[in-house]
Structure formats: C-alpha cells, structure tokens
Amino acid sequence: MDHLMLGAMWYLVFLFSTTLHEAAHAWVALRLGDPTAYEGGQVSLDPLPHVRREPIGTVVVPIVSFLLGGWMIGWASAPYDPEWAERHPRRAAWMALAGPAANLLLVLVAAAAVWLGLWAGVFVEPHRVRMSMVTAAVAPGLPECLARTVSLLFSLNLVLVVFNLIPLPPLDGSGALPLLMHEETARRYRAVVARVGVMGLFVAWQVFDPLFHPIFLATVNLLYPGAGFH
C-alpha cells in the first residue's frame, strides 16, 4: 500500500480515536457537574475544537512521528475545573476513566469488524501481525483499505487504553485511582499527584513497550483462537 495513503489512514484513525477519548472525558464531566469542557466545545465528535486546543499534539507530533517511526503518537486534552475535582474526587475519577473506556469500546468495535470480515470472506488471518495488519484482505483495493483501517482502529485504540491506564500522573490511570479510596484519602491523593506534573509520563513511556507487546499479542490471539502469534 502507498506510504502516503497509509499515513492518511493512520491520521484519520488517530484523530477520530483521540477526539472520542476527549469527548468522553468532557461528556462525563458535564453529566457529573462540571461544564468547563462543554463550554469549550469539547463535548463533540467534531475534531476541530480538540485540534484548536492542542494543535501540536493533534497535528504536528502525529505527522512527525509517522514520518520518523512509521506510526503515530500524539495527544489532546479536555479542560476541567480543578475546584470541582477537589470537591468531588470520585466524580473526577469517573471523568478520567471515561477516555480509556471510549477507546476500549473502539477496540471491541474493531474486533467485531474483524470477525464480521472473516465470516463474510473479506478478511483472512494474516501470516504475521503488526499494528497496521491485525487482519488481512483477500484482495487488493477496497478490501485491503478496510483491513488496514480496521487493523489501525484496533491497534491504536489498544495503545490508548493500555498507555492511559498506567497508574502514573498525569495519565488517566492515576486519575481513576480515587475510585478505590475513601473520599478524604482521594482528596489528599489528588493534592499529592498535582505536584508531580508530567514526570510520570517519562516513566510510563519506559514501561509501556514491555507492557504493551504481550497485551497486543494476547488480544490478537483472541481474534484468531489457536493461531499462536508470538
């Protein structure tokens, strides 16, 4: 497949997945009493409000990372009221969990699309798997485009689930931990992690690859029972 076309597919899947992630954060915050992101236009599947808020993370970094490494990374964000989060740490935790939950839903949708494609005879089990080839097409053209799109939807959203659930600040996994705490403990915890800043990202990036690879293989093997990809 043409490299430019593959890059366009990566970007469309990245933008859609990231937009849904942030829209889920914003929607849950609105439902639980914080309209900050809603007022900023983030309760939307329109990517433009999210791109305007984080143009470096949603445009520049994804394109550069694809050109340099062959796959995309990036970020977006949804604003929230820190005073609301301090008053309601468990509500803020549900808000944090909403983003990865939206990406998990897309992983399941992609898995269902793979099974449907296999049943319809459009997809086949690949000889080997990678992020851009979780499933393979029976023929070039439209079937190949569908197979690549579904593969990227599966892989990229699995990346977003696993990475964001690492329980280190400022990732969503850290933000969701107050669900396991008493409310006063949760308030103290939020006060502590607020001072950590982005240092947790560097640690998370170091542990991500050895964490993600076996999870990726395990989930792909669930798509093809008995395949034994390794």
The alpha carbons of the chain give a radius of gyration, in whole angstroms, of 19
Exactly one of 22, 125, 144, 184 is catalytic; name it: 22
Taking residues 171-183, what's their average pLDDT?
A: 90
Q: In this structure, is the dihedral angle defined by the CA atoms of residues 219, 220, 221 and 223, taken in order, positive or negative?
A: positive
Q: Looking at residue 169, what DSSP letter applies? A: T
Residue ranges of alpha helices (H) inside the chain are 3-31, 36-39, 47-53, 55, 61-69, 82-87, 89-120, 142-164, 172-176, 183-193, 199-223
With a cut of 90, say whether residue 4 has pLDDT above it: no
Q: Looking at residue 126, what DSSP letter applies? A: -
pLDDT of residue 189: 85
Label residue 197 by pLDDT band (50, 70, 90). low
Taking residues 143-162, what's their average pLDDT?
A: 96
pLDDT in tens, 55-108: 999 999 999 999 998 888 899 999 999 999 989 999 999 999 999 999 999 999
Distance CA(37)–CA(42), nearest Å, equals: 5
Q: Looking at residue 135, what DSSP letter applies? A: S
- Of the listed ranges 37-41, 115-119, 202-206, the one predicted with least confidence: 202-206
pLDDT of residue 142: 92
Average pLDDT, the chain: 93
With a cut of 70, say whether residue 43 has pLDDT above it: yes
Residue 22 is a catalytic residue: yes
With a cut of 70, say whether residue 1 has pLDDT above it: no
- The model carries a pTM of 0.94
